[in-house]
């Protein structure tokens, strides 16, 4: 069955379902790539909690490795841009057969969810499809980095094409200098490096109250400390507020932190 036949046979129930079919017609058939190995487990999907989290028939929750999709509305908070489209896309992509799980190094997150690379019954990568469609951000959290480079290329293609979250005006870009109490969660953040420090990590202190914590052993493209000074940075990750108590103990440090485990989640200006 080609992509056009799939869309004709699965007519969208509501308007957001059309998003899947349009993408299936315009995107290249590259969803079978980004493979780390054979399936470790075959499971049955109950439903998609959101674009990057699955609920299985056996009661387990699965969190996709390597992607972060927009959050659905919950607990009185509005949904993020394209959250409904990402959730619907995931359910349709996995429809029609067993779901394949492939594990990386860590198999559980701190919430007890299964961590896995996910493929549909045709062997196509859900992570690759979401990123290629512009319905998720690529994230990289150590030690589950086996597919980081491959997934980063899929995101870059969507970004260059202006698809989904990369369409102008769709997803907010936060400036480091504008962070204030109450801010946190997943962000696409930009700032300028003002100070660089090194201990067991490499620390980039940005303009404003934010520091980036990098793995000192990874190659981010900058070889010495002075290479970072004054650079414009764009980073994807979770903004963590270490709080006023932390700041009172370590007033020389920045209050907010983003951990950057991979060179594929940070962009550095070259001027």
User: Exactly one of 63, 92, 163, 190 is catalytic; which is it?
Assistant: 63
Q: Which of 71, 80, 124, 155 is catalytic?
A: 71
In order of 157, 201, 204, the CA distances from 198 in angstroms are 33, 6, 9
Instruction: Read off the tokens for 115.
Output: 């961590």
The single-letter DSSP state of residue 182 is T
- Check if 71 is active-site: yes
Q: In 3-state terms, what secondary structure has residue 80?
A: coil
Task: Kindly give the interhelix angle for 18-26 and 83-93, rounded to the nearest 10 degrees.
Answer: 70
Which residues fall within 8 angstroms of residue 108, CB to CB, at 6 or more apart?
A: 114, 115
* Residue among 157, 146, 195 nearest 28 (CA): 157
CA distance 161 to 159: 5
- End-to-end Cα, the chain, rounded Å: 48
- Active-site residue 63, yes or no? yes
Rounded to whole angstroms, how far apart are CA atoms 128 and 151? 6
Other CB atoms within 10 A of residue 56 CB: 17
Of 10, 113, 225, 267, the catalytic one is 113
163 is catalytic: no
Encoded tokens for 232: 């414009």
**For the chain, counts of helices (H) and of strands (E):** 6, 15
Q: Is 230 exposed, middle or buried (0-12, 13-18, 19+ CB in 10 A)?
A: exposed
Active site residues: 63, 71, 113
């Amino acid at each position: 069955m080609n992509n056009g036949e799939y869309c004709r046979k699965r007519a969208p129930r509501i308007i957001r379902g059309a998003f899947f079919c349009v993408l299936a017609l315009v995107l290249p058939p590259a969803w079978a790539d980004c493979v780390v190995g054979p399936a470790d487990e075959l499971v049955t999907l109950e439903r998609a909690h959101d674009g990057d989290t699955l609920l299985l028939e056996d009661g387990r929750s699965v969190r996709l490795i390597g992607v972060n999709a927009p959050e659905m509305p919950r607990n009185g908070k509005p949904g993020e841009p394209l959250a409904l489209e990402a959730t619907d896309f995931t359910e349709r992509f996995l429809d029609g057969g067993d779901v394949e799980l492939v594990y990386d190094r860590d198999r559980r997150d701190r919430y007890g969810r299964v961590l896995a690379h996910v493929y549909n019954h045709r062997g196509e990568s859900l992570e690759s499809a979401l990123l290629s469609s512009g319905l998720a951000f690529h994230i990289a959290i150590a030690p589950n980095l086996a597919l980081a480079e491959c997934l980063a290329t899929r995101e870059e293609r969507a970004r260059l094409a202006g698809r989904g979250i990369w369409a102008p005006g769709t997803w907010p870009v936060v400036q480091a200098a504008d962070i204030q109490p109450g801010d946190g969660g997943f962000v696409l953040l930009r700032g300028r490096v003002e100070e660089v420090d090194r201990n067991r990590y490499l620390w980039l202190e940005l303009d404003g109250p934010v520091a980036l914590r990098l793995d000192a052993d990874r190659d981010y493209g900058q070889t010495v400390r002075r290479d970072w000074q004054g650079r414009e940075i764009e980073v994807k990750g979770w903004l963590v507020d270490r709080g006023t108590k932390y700041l009172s103990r370590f007033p020389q440090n920045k209050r907010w932190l983003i951990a950057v485990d991979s060179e594929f989640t940070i962009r550095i200006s070259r001027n």
